Amino acid sequence: MVGRDPEGRLELAVEGARSGHGASVDFRRTTLRGISSSPLIRACGPRGTLLDATAGLGGDSFILAAAGFSVTAVERSPLVAAVLRDGLARAAAEPRTATIAARIELREGDARTIIAASQSVWSVIYLDPMYPVKSGSALAPKPIRLVREAVGDDLDSRLLFCAAAQASCGRVVVKRPHHAESLWCEPDLVFESKLARYDTYLRQGKSLRAMAQGIES
Spatial CB neighbours of 22, under 8 Å, sequence gap ≥ 6:
3, 5, 11, 12, 13, 14, 146
Interface region with ligand SAM, contact rule CB under 6 A, candidates 14-22, 30-38, 123-131, 166-174: 123-131
Q: Is 83 in the site for ligand SAM (CB under 6 A)?
A: no
Q: Is 11 in the site for ligand SAM (CB under 6 A)?
A: no
C-beta of 214: minimal distance to ligand SAM in Å?
20
Alpha helices by DSSP H, 140-216: 142-151, 157-166, 208-216
Backbone angles phi, psi at 3, to 5 degrees: -140, -165
Q: Is 67 in the site for ligand SAM (CB under 6 A)?
A: no
C-beta of 160: minimal distance to ligand SAM in Å?
5
The binder of ligand SAM chosen from 12, 27, 50, 56 (CB under 6 A): 56
End-to-end CA distance of the chain: 39
Closest CA to 202 of 190, 216, 193: 190
Interface region with ligand SAM, contact rule CB under 6 A, candidates 49-57, 164-172, 181-189, 208-216: 49-57
H or E stretch including 79? Answer: helix 78-93
Are the C-beta atoms of 146 and 14 separated by less than 8 Å?
yes
The binder of ligand SAM chosen from 40, 43, 51, 80 (CB under 6 A): 80
DSSP annotation of 23: B
C-beta of 33: minimal distance to ligand SAM in Å?
18
Interface region with ligand SAM, contact rule CB under 6 A, candidates 7-15, 34-42, 105-113, 194-202: 105-113
Q: Which residues bind ligand SAM (CB under 6 A)?
A: 53-54, 56-60, 74-77, 80, 110-112, 128-130, 147, 151, 154, 160
